[in-house]
Amino acid sequence: MLARRYPVLVEPEELLSMLNRGDHSDGGDNGVVLIDVRKEEDYMQGHIPRAVSLPLARVLESMDPRQLHMLFKRLGVDDSKHVIVYDDTFGALAARVAWALEYIGHEKVSLLSITYGRWSSLGYGIERGAGRVDQQHEGYTLADVSADHSILATYDYIQAILEGIKQLQQGKGTSTSTGKRVLLDVRERLNYLDHHIPYAVNIPWKAFTGEERILKPIEEIDALLSYRRISRDDEVIVYCGSVGTLSGLSYYALRLAGYSNVRLYARSLKEWRSLNLPVEGFKDAHYWDLSAE
């Protein structure tokens, strides 16, 4: 996988100037498609001007690249467009949608660096109502539909990794690549201690998020990973508890910090558990009782 040519994060000011350059008399969009992934009713109540609505749930309906293509195509996304995604849920929903675009081979995608809530509280403009509905995009055809499997991890992919680690530990297998493979569980600490995929390490997803921005500065993310001896040569597989949202955000934290070999286990622990695949946990303490909730 190559280093990204498009920034992971777009700042509000950058977004404004991207949207406002040139004139829009022809209905042009300056090569930008801004996607709001919140629920439709939230979008109706207010969104960033020129944003189109695509609730996350629609994206989660299918992992089929063709269907995903159709979904984005209808919003006006084609190969030439720079897509910018935002949400109001720490950036996690936006991240999952952005990842889906990358998965179908669209690399020109960025996340807005702040949430919608912060955007409006900072006094940037908003717009109400249905916004743009771009039926005319129906006619576009996209380049061949193929998925980028290098950023996806499936359960059998992970099973194979676990097998490899086991072999290595027993001194049977040999390490093939320069880096190692790291399974990264980004759920909260207590959930992780309770159970997790064997060999996974834990960095709670909040450790990647800033107080005001959806991700911490690169140096801080970098420090976190280096404390855990995770290097840029390693392949990192991120997962969370449900549908790859919180892990999606963590995926972009790693990408932001220049870790290019990252995969998202999009179906995450929800699928893993439903398949009754092995988990391990730490049972010698009653740590749950420490939780004040």
Partner 1 sequence: MQKHQERSIKHTHESEGGGGREQWGLPEEVTSVEEMIRLYREGKVSDDEFRRFRLQHGMYGSRLNQNYTMIRIKVPAGILYPEQLIRLAKLSEDFSIGSVHVTTRQNIQMHWVYLDDAPAVEKGLVEVGLTTREACGNTIRNVTCSPFAGVCMNEPFDVTPYAKALARFFLRNPMCQNLPRKFKFNFACCDEHSYARIADVGLVPVLKHGADGRSIRGFRVYIGGGLGPASYLAELLEEFTPEDMLLSTCMAVVRLFDRLGDREKMHRNRMRYLVHDMGFERFRELVLKERRAVEMTRSVLAKLYIREIKVDAPEMGQDAMVVELRPFNMPDGFDRWVKSNVMDQRQKGYAVVFIPLPAGDVTARQLRALAGICREFSHEGHVITTPTQGFALRWVMKSRLVELYRRLSEAGLANHGALSIASVVGCTSTTSCNLAITNAHRLAKEIRSRLIELGLDMDESLKDATIKLSGCPNSCGQHMIATIGFFGAAVRINNSLTPAYNMLLGGKVGKDSALGRVVARVPAKRIIDVILRLIDVYREERLEGESLASWIDRVLDGKGTGKIKGIDDLKPIIEEASRLPPPAEDPESYVDYGSDSRFIVRTARGECAA
Alpha helices in the chain (DSSP H): 12-20, 40-45, 56-60, 65-73, 92-103, 116-121, 155-169, 189-194, 218-227, 246-256, 268-274
3-class DSSP state of 253:
helix
Amino acid at 113: S
User: Which one of the spans 13-21, 25-33, 74-82, 223-231 is the region binding partner 1 (CB under 8 A)?
Assistant: 223-231
Strand bridging mode 109-112 / 181-185? unpaired
- Specify the residue, 103 or 251, whose C-beta has the smaller distance to partner 1: 251
- Specify the residue, 195 or 206, whose C-beta has the smaller distance to partner 1: 206
Per rule CB under 8 A, is residue 211 in the interface with partner 1? Answer: yes
Footprint (CB under 8 A) of partner 1, residues 9-28: none
Footprint (CB under 8 A) of partner 1, residues 61-100: none
Q: How many helices (DSSP H) and strands (DSSP E) are in the chain?
A: 11, 9
User: Which one of the spans 170-178, 186-194, 233-241, 254-262 is the region binding partner 1 (CB under 8 A)?
Assistant: 186-194
Per rule CB under 8 A, is residue 275 in the interface with partner 1? Answer: no
Binder to partner 1 among 123, 135, 170, 227 (CB under 8 A)? 227
- Residues 274 and 139: their CA atoms lie apart, in Å, by 40
**148 in Cβ contact with 102 (< 8 Å):** yes
Helix axes 92-103, 246-256, angle to 10 degrees: 70
Nearest approach, Cβ of 239 to partner 1 (angstroms)?
Answer: 17
The binding track of 128-157 with respect to partner 1, each residue x by CB under 8 A or -, is ------------------------------
Nearest approach, Cβ of 34 to partner 1 (angstroms)?
Answer: 29
Of the candidates 53, 150, 44, the one whose C-alpha atom is nearest the C-alpha of residue 93 is 53
- Specify the residue, 140 or 282, whose C-beta has the smaller distance to partner 1: 282
Nearest approach, Cβ of 229 to partner 1 (angstroms)?
Answer: 8
Task: Give me the torsion for CA of 10, 11, 16, 22, rounded to 10°.
Answer: -50
Nearest approach, Cβ of 11 to partner 1 (angstroms)?
Answer: 22
Per rule CB under 8 A, is residue 206 in the interface with partner 1? Answer: yes
- Planar angle of CA 204, 208, 213, nearest 5 degrees: 135
Positions touching partner 1 (CB under 8 A) are 188-190, 193, 202, 204, 206-207, 211, 220, 223-224, 227-229, 282-293
